[in-house]
Amino acid sequence: MAYRVACTVSYDGSAYHGWQRQPRELSVQEVIEASLQQLHNGAEISIYGASRTDQGVHALGQVFHFDTTIDIPIERMALAINTYLPEDIFITEAKVVEDHFHARKSVLKKTYCYKLMVNQYLPHERHRMGFYKGELNLESMQQAIKELIGTHDFSAFTQHATYDSYDRTIYAATLTKTETGLELIITGSGFLRHMVRIIMGTLLLIGSNPSVKIKDILASKDRQQAGLNVAPEGLYLLQVDYE
């Protein structure tokens, strides 16, 4: 009898061309599906992910689902899938869900983190963090981030993508100082392509020029008014929440 399984997966995205399967590039989805194919004695299994993370982006809490008839106790499912996965992808949890559950369509909110080195470049962190060199007004950045809270048209904070609606709701956003630089944590109903990276770039723009205002950028709906699209290496999908 077929049943649906939802898995939480953590991965280092450095070696992959993003989450989604690509025709000529290696993706995280492709590697997991290959693992499931081995587990299912050669039968092809399709998975559906909560977020299409870009090339170089990491995850601690990506979620995907698949349908199966395999006779494996659910408490051993994660271990079974991990047996065929490389060391940079790891299933942390597997559970049986209702047939109507969909890893992407059932999402209530997602939380991302962006980690940034500031004025101290650490080579061993180059695939884990972004880098910025320059003076920053942290107080201005922390004030600006409050203006993101709520529902807004985020047209100015995406590129190379077309959507039916550019409205997204941000529930929480914080920017904190760390030993190596800065860490942005942001939770929203969903995010446009490159949105979190452009938000981080815009905060850096404000940190170097406090006269720039988030509310003016939002109102402009103009990508050219927002900051740079910072490097993908510092971005992590932390958590996906469902009902």
Q: Kindly list the catalytic residues.
A: 54
Residue type, 177: K
Q: How far is CA 126 from CA 7, 115, 131, 179, 234, in A?
A: 28, 11, 8, 16, 9
By three-state DSSP, how is residue 31 classified? helix
168 token code pair: 């997204």
By three-state DSSP, how is residue 242 classified? strand
Dist CA 155 CA 203 (whole Å): 16
In eight-state DSSP terms, residue 54 is P
**DSSP symbols for 105-161:** TTEEEEEEEEEEEES---GGGTTT-EEE-S---HHHHHHHHGGG-EEEE-GGG--S-
Query: Which residues make Cβ contacts (< 8 Å) with residue 211, sequence separation at least 6?
Result: none
Residue type, 2: A
Is 164 exposed, middle or buried, given 0-12, 13-18 or 19+ CB atoms closer than 10 A?
Answer: exposed
Dist CA 48 CA 147 (whole Å): 33
